[in-house]
A and B are shown apart, each in its own frame.
Chain A
Amino acid sequence: MSHADEHELLDLATEVAAEAAPGEQVEAFVGSSTTTSVRVHGGEVESLTQATTSGIGVRVVRDGRQGFAYAGSLDPAVVAEVLAEARDNAAYAEPEDWVGLAEPDGVEPPEVDLWRDELAAMPTDRKIALALELERAVQARDPRISGVRVAQWGDGAGAAAVATSTGIAVAGRSTFCHLSVQALAADGDETRTGYGVSVGRRPDDVDLDEAADDAAERATRLLGAVQPDSGPVTLVLEPQMAAALLGVVAGTLTGEAVLKGRSPFADRVGERIASPLLTLHDDPTDPRSLGADTHDGEGLATRRVPLIEEGVLQGFLHNTTTGRRAGVPSTASAVRSFRTTPGVGAQALVLDPGEGTLDDLVSGVDRGVLVQSMSGLHSGVNPVSGDFSVGVEGLLVRDGALAEPVREATVASTLQRMLLDVAAVGGEREWTPGGTGAAALVIPGVMLSGR
């Protein structure tokens, strides 16, 4: 099967959904993607991978009980086994009224075209040449660049289809490509790293120089980093770091977290939970986002979901199940792969930009840290309690000017407090590889821990 033929995938999904017995709902989610990855090191191709991955996930709902099974194969015998296994699994779940598949809701899908023929037509030699050129470019940027851990070209062309016995039948396809590099800068015994990436849907979207500049600058400017003194500081988050923080916040705004008592923002709709400077949507209908899509993981048309308007909480993200339980429509926020049942999550967070360049924001800070990387977002941030503690690298800000680089330091606060304390939102919005449209954020009152 051609990797990008979403019609064939939809035919298969529809056939499986049609197997539903009376009193039973069946959903089939079928995905297939062909990826290429070129990794280079030291002027040579380290590895070149080209492969297609396909699979199917089947949900069966009977009497309010849900069962699921998946397989990384579209072989007819395997598909039959998956359906049988999902059916068997359904018998063991405990029933609830709100359990069930999505039904067509009349919402028209946005006109976003996520497919670019130019990527499918791109020769492998060109991908290799770009990865090698990226490595050379980074090394040529600065004499202190001691090496490149890896320079990489990656791309994918994927198609997915979802069909249900309740009348859903949709399919789509998309392309994606990126160049990324991790630069090493050395001075004596000290080595620092800097990451650069550029992404797009077609080869011409990818900006090699941007990735090379970012990686080289981020690595070299950390040379000479010191462990700072502990004390309260103002954080200046570069747009990519702001996107990471907003991603954590969005995780607390899902119907799943709210309904199960795991969100610090449950019961706060209509209340101020953030600075009036903050307006945040999840908008997969925005074609500028790499998270844009016509449909969610349950086959409903995507829509723009207001989350925070001028600091006031507007509502939560829902899939069909959490929406039914909450008594509201799905916001088409089902996220999944063929290996999982639909969860709830943001697909394309978009922060309304404020005013000023990053330099303008820095110039307004007396004592702060410009953060270029965070570590331990998975280990030091608790989205239930809101406790927030992460390792940071970046530059100290002193009296409105960038000062020495910092290392071996953490910043800590709570998500609740950081949202309320946002003192400025930058005017320059960036679209991150993760699909978030984010601008820089200035957040005072955060504890810096170092010496």
Chain B
Amino acid sequence: MLDDATIQRTLAAALRTGGDFAEVFVEDKRSSSAMLDDGRVEELSSGRDRGAGIRVVVGETTGFAHTADLSEEGLRAAAEAAAAAARSGGGGVREVALTRRDAPRPNGVEVLPETVAKGAKVELLRRADDAARSAGAAIRQVRARYGDSRRRILVANSEGVLAEDDQVRTLFVVSAVAVGDTGMQTGYESVGRTIGFELFDRYDVEQVARTAAERALTKLSARPAPSGTMPVVIGPGGGGVLFHEACGHGLEKDLVDKGASAFAGRLGEQVASPLVTLVDDGTMAEEWGCFAVDDEGTPAQRNVLIQDGVLTDYMWDVLRSRKAGRPVSGNGRRQSYQHLPMVRMTNTYLVAGQDDPDDIVASTERGVYVASLGGGQVNTASGDFVFGMTEAYLIEDGRITEPLREGNLIGNGPKVLRDIDAVGNDFAMGKPGTCGKDGQGVPVGDGVPTLRVRALTVGGTAA
């Protein structure tokens, strides 16, 4: 994307007035999407964002500037702005010897979406619309969206790192509205992988559409969710967001360092039920949060965060690892070249256990079964978190019975981890997600086997 000499001169400009660390991050991202709504292909959209973000670190201070001008002059101006922002003193010239450190990609890409005719993308939408509407007369509205992106990045820093990555993601989303005597209900389903258009050789868009439609239809007969604290069983693949919110964010070292995590100072302690082994793994082939190198040039890694309930590690970025004198973990990510990297999750999952999923439900007298969770939100300092249930059922006498209307569940991360009293042997990865933190969104994956939390608060309206 840039030649080595230009990168070296830009880093030198960034360090000209001193500085402990400098980095150039170059990104060229193309995206395309096609949207069908209300029975009509409404719009195709194409986007391009290309530029560089440059940061300079002096002591505790990071100066950052970005530019869409990738000429040598544009890069130098951004480097000087970043250096000025870091308010660096001193001076001198530092030469940086760059060493390529490209990591293997988690997987190949068979069909680059940019090589696929737009008509073929539109055709997927029509098939999805037909399939969703065929699912039942009560389906009154369908929205389908196809999206792809190709994000090429280059990272180089003053410690000699030089790495590139080429990330291709393809996504398909369907949402349906069903209308009945009780009003309107919605259903949603998505598939997304870090692969190209071959996504549609693996997944049938008609099936995605039917799943969305059936979720909406099921909820037409749903009753209000209960209120109060009760056992909650989460289905395979449906609830990785639970761990993302309950402890994932709290294990991000930037939040830990600021005293804004309920898990600060607890390394080596039993923080969860012994049934819990939690992993964050950026190397998982094709998963939504995978990559070859993170946005600081660190190769993706598999990191065990909690082993048999014991907290084994936090997640780290380059600056914090450097300060602590420990290896990097590959969790430095950013939304785009216009953003500073932060400590972020990749694909976060709970390792499968021994329990028979049917037994987990059968041994629950009364509670809620959540087949699919929506988004969530956590206050890492208090540990309290919410997450939405988009497909849920009542459990009565050990059987899954009636569907429930939507609502949030609320819990406390450290407490929920201790309250996990069953983990199934039926692991599945969940839906592609976008994790937001301090205004930046990055793609993440998650997964869980069937599991039970002894006590969670269900935010329904029924007594």
Binding site for B on A (CB under 8 A): 41-42, 44-51, 53-54, 66-73, 75, 78, 81-82, 85-86, 88-90, 92-94, 96, 124, 146-147, 149-150, 182, 184, 186, 190-193, 227, 230-231, 259-262, 264, 339, 341, 375-376, 378-380, 382, 384-387, 389-391, 393, 407-414, 447-451
Contact = CB atoms under 8 A, between A and B. Distances in A.
B40 interface: yes
B181 to A, nearest CB: 13
A322 B259 CA distance: 49
Contacts of B49: 71-72
Interface of B: 34, 37-38, 40-51, 59-68, 78, 81, 85-87, 118-119, 122, 140-141, 177, 179, 183-186, 219, 225, 227-229, 255, 258-260, 262, 338, 340, 374-377, 379, 381-382, 384-388, 405-412, 438, 457-463
B387 A147 contact: no
Nearest to A266: B184
Contacts of B382: 190-193, 407
Contact of B405 (A89, A191, A385, A410): A385
Given A50-B85, A376-B377, A412 B459 contact: yes
Contacts of A412: 225, 227, 407, 459-461
A308 B59 CA distance: 55
A86 B460 CA distance: 46
10 contacts: A46-B62, A50-B85, A51-B64, A81-B48, A93-B40, A184-B258, A191-B262, A230-B228, A376-B386, A408-B410
Contacts of A261: 140-141, 177, 179, 184
B459 A379 contact: no
A258 to B, nearest CB: 12
Contacts of B140: 261
Contacts of B67: 51
A376 B388 CA distance: 7
Contacts of A182: 260
A45 B64 CA distance: 12
B33 to A, nearest CB: 9
Nearest to B143: A260
A380 B260 contact: no
Contacts of A447: 227, 460-463
Contacts of B141: 260-262
A46 to B, nearest CB: 7
Contact of B45 (A75, A89, A260, A414): A89
A47 B183 contact: no
Residue from the set B34, B40, B42, B461 with the largest chain A CB neighbour count within 10 Å: B461
A48 B408 contact: no
Contacts of A94: 40-42
Given A50-B65, A264-B184, A380-B388, A389 B406 contact: yes
A50 B83 CA distance: 11
A149 B381 contact: yes
Contact of B408 (A51, A73, A376, A450): A376
B386 A379 contact: yes
A409 B37 contact: no
A93 B42 contact: yes
A182 B228 CA distance: 30
A247 B63 CA distance: 36
A78 B48 contact: yes
Contacts of A41: 258
Contact of A380 (B38, B85, B408, B411): B408
A149 B229 contact: no
A75 B48 CA distance: 12
B64 A49 contact: yes
A49 B66 CA distance: 9
A382 B185 CA distance: 9
Contact of A379 (B62, B377, B384, B457): B377
B183 to A, nearest CB: 6
Contact of A391 (B68, B122, B386): B386
Contacts, number: 266
B46 A49 contact: no
Contact of A230 (B50, B227, B376, B379): B227
B125 to A, nearest CB: 10
A45 B438 CA distance: 17
Contacts of A386: 183
Contact of B377 (A42, A51, A192, A375): A375
B119 to A, nearest CB: 7
A47 B62 contact: yes
B266 to A, nearest CB: 11
Contacts of A409: 410, 457
A161 B66 CA distance: 23
Which residue, of A69, A262, A339, A389, has the highest number of chain B Cβ atoms within 10 A? Answer: A389
Contacts of B406: 380, 382, 385, 387, 389
Contacts of A259: 38
A96 B140 CA distance: 19
**Which 9 pairs show the lowest CB-CB distances between chains A and B?**
A410-B459, A379-B388, A380-B408, A389-B407, A449-B227, A376-B386, A89-B44, A379-B375, A391-B386
Contacts of A390: 386, 408, 459
Given A51-B67, A230-B227, A380-B388, A68 B43 contact: yes
B68 A73 contact: yes
B119 A92 contact: yes
Nearest to B458: A449
B412 A408 contact: yes
B411 A408 contact: yes
B374 A379 contact: yes
Contacts of A339: 47
Given A191-B262, A391-B377, 13 more contacts: A54-B68, A66-B42, A186-B259, A339-B47, A375-B377, A380-B386, A389-B459, A389-B461, A390-B408, A391-B410, A391-B459, A407-B382, A449-B228
Contact of B410 (A50, A67, A191, A410): A410
Given A261-B141, A382-B406, A410-B386, A92 B122 contact: yes
Which of B41, B46, B438 has the most chain A CB atoms inside 10 A of its CB?
B46
Contacts of B463: 230-231, 447
Contacts of B457: 227, 408-410, 449-451
Contacts of B66: 51, 53
B34 to A, nearest CB: 7
B449 to A, nearest CB: 22
Nearest to B411: A408
A386 B219 CA distance: 13
Contact of A68 (B45, B61, B183, B411): B45
Contact of B407 (A262, A264, A410, A448): A410
Given A262-B141, A390-B386, A407-B382, A47 B64 contact: yes
A111 B146 CA distance: 42
Contacts of B225: 389, 412
Contacts of B42: 66, 93-94
B340 A47 contact: yes
B47 A51 contact: no
Give the residue among B63, B81, B85 with the most A Cβ atoms within 10 A: B85
B177 A191 contact: no
A85 B114 CA distance: 13
B62 to A, nearest CB: 4
A193 B384 CA distance: 11
A390 B406 CA distance: 11
A231 B410 CA distance: 16
